[in-house]
Amino acid sequence: MRLKRNVLFAHPVLSSENDDFHGGSFDFRVTKVTECGNGDVLIQGDFEVREETTKVALSSGALKVVLLLQCLNTYFDGAFPVGGSPFEIRIPDGKLLGLVTLRAVIAAQAKSFTIESKAVSAEFPSRSLSIAKADVVGLSGEYKFYVGLKTLAPLESIFRLVENEFAPVDAFDLELDSECIGIHVRKPLFDFFAITRGTAKRDVLLSSLYLPALIGVLVEMKDGAYADRRWHSALIERLNALGLTPQENPLIAAQKLLGMPMGALQQVFAKE
C-alpha cells in the first residue's frame, strides 16, 4: 500500500499537506536507521498528533498509526502498525536495498468511525465524516533513506584523472560528456595527484581536486543536464542517500557527498 503525494480523499485528513483541520497537525520523523550485522534494518522514530479527538481515538484503539514502507529495488511494500511513540520496527535481511520511502498514516480500526473534531474545515459535509475500517484519517510527509550505501562504489570511482597538455596551467578542466567525470590536468599535476591517491594524503586530494570538481558538476546537474550519463545516476543515488537533491546548494552538497573533507584535511596536517 502506497499513498501518492497528490492523492485525494473524500473525507478530512489530518496532514501538513492540506488544511482539512484548522490548527491540527500530525508530525512524524525517523530518528535513526541502523543496518544491523545480520542484514536486518532497524528503523526508529517518533510521531506527535496535535488534534484532541484524534489523540483520544488513538488512545482508545479506534485509530492506529501505521507505517507504510516501500523499496522499489526489491519490490517490497509493507504496512507496519506501531503501538505508540517512540516506535521501532525491524525489517528482515534482503527486504531493503537502495532508496526506501516511508510515511505514516492514521487509519481507522473499527468497522465504522465518525470524525467528530470541531476543527474540521466547513467545506466537508456531515456525510463525509463517517468512514470505514482502514480508511486514512491522518497522513504524514514522506521520509526517504538509503539502505546498502556501503555497497556503492567509492565516490572517487566516478572521476577519471586525465593528462592533457591543453588543460589550463596549474588548474583543471572538466569533461562531463562521458560515462565518468574526466578531470583534465597537465602532466605535473597529473603525476602529483596520481601519487597522492595511493597515500595517506588522499584527504588533500579530496579537498583540493574532488571538492571543486564536484561543485562544478552539481551546478551543471541543476538544470537536468547529463542525465543519460552513468556518473549522473551514481551521484543521484548518493544524493538520495543523504536526503539531498540536485537543487541543493552545490557548495554544501559537495562537502556532504565527500564526507566533509575539510575536517579530514585538518587531521592530515595535525600529524605533520
Q: What is the pLDDT of residues 29-38, one digit of tens each?
A: 888 888 887 8
Name the packing angle between helices 211-221 and 230-241 (round to 10°): 100
Pick from 162, 163, 108: nearest CA to 136: 108
The CA distance from 203 to 211, in Å, is 10
The total domain count for the chain is 2
Is 249 within the bounds of a domain?
A: yes
Structural domain includes residue 178: yes
Residue 8, pLDDT above cutoff 90: no
Out of 131, 149, 167, a domain closes at: 149
Starting at the edge strand that comes first in sequence, how are the strands of the sheet with 173-175 ordered?
Answer: 159-163, 181-185, 173-175
* Of residues 236 and 8, more confidently modeled: 236
Q: What range does the domain containing 102 cover?
A: 25-149
Instruction: Give the β-pairing of 25-35 and 181-185.
Output: unpaired
Q: Which residue has the cell 592533457?
A: 164
174 and 120 belong to one structural domain: no
- Helix H segments across 124-229? 187-196, 202-205, 211-221
Residues 29 and 129 both lie in one domain = yes
Domain boundary among the residues 132, 149, 166 is at 149
Examine the domain organization and report whether 161 and 116 are in the same domain.
Answer: no
Residue 1 lies in a domain: no
H-only helix segments in 9-147: 52-60
The CA-based diameter of the chain, rounded to the nearest angstrom, is: 77
Rounded to 5 degrees, φ, ψ at 11 are -125, 165
- Tell me the C-alpha distance between 99 and 96, whole Å: 8
Q: Decide which of 149, 183, 205 is a domain's last residue.
A: 149
User: Same structural domain for residues 38 and 107?
Assistant: yes
Same domain, 172 and 58: no
Task: Tell me, yes or no, whether 133 lies in a domain.
Answer: yes
Element of type H or E holding 257: helix 250-257
Tell me the pLDDT tens digit for each residue of 101-113. 899 999 999 888 8
If you average pLDDT over each of 96-100, 134-138, 267-271, which comes out highest? 134-138
Write the CATH number for 46: 2.60.40.10
Asked if the structure places residue 17 within a domain, the reply is no
**Rounded to an integer, what distance in angstroms lies between the CA atom of residue 48 and that of residue 85?**
8
- Is the same domain home to 231 and 205? yes
Residue 78: pLDDT band (50, 70, 90) is very high
Res 118 pLDDT > 60? yes
Q: Which three cell numbers stand for residue 229?
A: 550519463
Lowest mean pLDDT among 92-106, 136-150, 200-214: 200-214
Residues 101 and 142 sit within 8 Å (Cβ to Cβ): yes
Query: Do 122 and 214 fall within a single domain?
Result: no
Residue 164 and residue 142 share a domain? no
> What was the pLDDT predicted at 217?
94
Q: Residues 95, 189: one domain?
A: no
Assigned domain for 19 exists: no
Tell whether 218 and 254 lie within a shared domain.
yes
12-57 residue pLDDT tens: 888 877 888 888 888 888 888 888 878 889 999 999 998 889 989 8
Once rounded to an integer, what is the mean pLDDT over residues 106-135? 86
pLDDT score recorded for residue 208: 78
User: Does one domain contain both 192 and 132?
Assistant: no
Q: Are residues 189 and 122 in the same domain?
A: no
> pLDDT grade, residue 81 (50/70/90)?
very high
